[in-house]
Amino acid sequence: MENQIIAAVLVSIVAFFTVFTITPFLIKFLEKRNLVVKDYNRKGGAMVARPGGIFIIIGVIISELVLYAFFPSIHILAIVITSSLAFCVGIVDDRRVMGGWFKPVALAFCAIPILLFGAYDPGLVFPIFGSVNIPVLYIGLVIFMIPITGNTINSIDVLNGVASGFTSIASFALSAALFVMQNYEIAIASLALSFVALAFYKYHKFPSRIFPGDSGVLVFGATYGAIAIVGHVEVIAAVALLPAIMNSFLFLSSMKKIVEHRQIKNPTFLSDDYKLGATHDKDAPITIVRLIVAGKPMTEKEIGFVIFKLAAFSGILAVITAFLMGVRI
Partner 1 sequence: MMPGPVYVFVFAMWLLILLGGALIVTVLGPFSFGGFVGLDPMLNSGIKVAIALTLVSVWILILSAIKNWMFKKQIKS
Nearer to partner 1, 84 or 299 (CB): 299
Least distance in Å: CB of 272 to partner 1? Answer: 19
Strand-pair partners of 37? 48
Least distance in Å: CB of 110 to partner 1? Answer: 23
**Which region among 85-93, 112-120, 219-227, 280-288 touches partner 1 (by CB under 8 A)?**
280-288
Least distance in Å: CB of 135 to partner 1? Answer: 10
Nearer to partner 1, 253 or 271 (CB): 253
Q: Is 24 in the site for partner 1 (CB under 8 A)?
A: no
Q: Is 306 in the site for partner 1 (CB under 8 A)?
A: yes
Strand-pair partners of 125? 131
Q: Is 168 in the site for partner 1 (CB under 8 A)?
A: no
**Which region among 40-48, 89-97, 211-219, 291-299 touches partner 1 (by CB under 8 A)?**
291-299
Backbone region of residue 13 per phi and psi (left: phi > 0; alpha: psi in -120 to 50; beta: other values)? alpha
Least distance in Å: CB of 309 to partner 1? Answer: 7
Angle, CA of 190, 180 and 142, to the nearest 5° = 50
Instruction: Identify residues 98-137 at the interface with partner 1 (CB under 8 A).
Output: 124, 126-132, 136-137
Report the half-sphere exposure of 226 (CA within 13 A, side-chain side).
Answer: 36
Q: Is 327 in the site for partner 1 (CB under 8 A)?
A: no
Strands (DSSP E) contained in the chain are 36-38, 47-49, 123-126, 130-133, 268-270, 276-278
| DSSP code string of 107-163 | HHHHTHHHHHTT-S-SEEEETTTEEEE-HHHHHHHHHHHHHHHHHHHHHTTTSTTHH
Report the half-sphere exposure of 37 (CA within 13 A, side-chain side).
Answer: 14
Q: How far apart are CA 55 and CA 230, in angstroms?
A: 24
Q: Is 278 in the site for partner 1 (CB under 8 A)?
A: yes
Instruction: Identify residues 200-239 at the interface with partner 1 (CB under 8 A).
Output: 235, 238-239
- Point out which residues bind partner 1 (CB under 8 A): 124, 126-132, 136-137, 235, 238-239, 242-243, 245-246, 249-250, 253, 278, 280, 286, 288, 290-292, 294-295, 306, 309-310, 313-314, 317, 321, 324
